[in-house]
A = this chain, B = another copy of it.
């Protein structure tokens, strides 16, 4: 796929993740969204459910979407798929993508974007804990070697942080 086609597809996928994040925030969850796609086909998607379904510490939208795709395909291995997320996935979610043998990860805002935003906007309501390891560092330690690409619709994804206050 040429660069321009790829960019258009990636932006379309991240735009859908942003919609999921906005829906999640409207329901009282973090404004985060993720999906798993195979080429242009969305296999599974999820907004954050962490707060309202409060009894699963692993229920990040990326993890929920990866599990749903595995269930859908009846396999714990998902070669040929890509994980999309509004925010750079944490080590847990990058790791599950590696275990699932996914091809790559595409995200909007970075962990560093989140860190800078949180420093300027402390919240009494939301804890913004982070595990301070970039997605690319997890990916480069795993087999197969996931590719990682950030910054797609970054400003729109950073703007979502405002909805999680």
A contact residues vs B (CB 8 Å cutoff): 50, 54-59, 63, 66-67, 70-71, 73-78, 90-92, 94-96, 98-100, 129-133, 137-138, 141-143
A57 touches B100 (CB 8 A): yes
Could you say which residues of chain B place their CB within 8 Å of the CB of A63? Answer: 58
Minimal Cβ-Cβ distance residue in B for A98: B131
Could you say which residues of chain B place their CB within 8 Å of the CB of A96? Answer: 57-58, 92
A58 touches B67 (CB 8 A): yes
Alpha-carbon distance between A78 and B55 when the two chains are bound, in angstroms: 10
A138 touches B91 (CB 8 A): yes
Alpha-carbon distance between A94 and B91 when the two chains are bound, in angstroms: 9
A99 touches B95 (CB 8 A): no
Q: Which of these, B59, B75, B95, B130, contacts A76 with CB under 8 Å?
A: B59
Q: Which of these, B76, B99, B130, B138, contacts A55 with CB under 8 Å?
A: B76
Closest 5 CB pairs of A and B: A92-B95, A57-B100, A57-B76, A57-B99, A131-B142
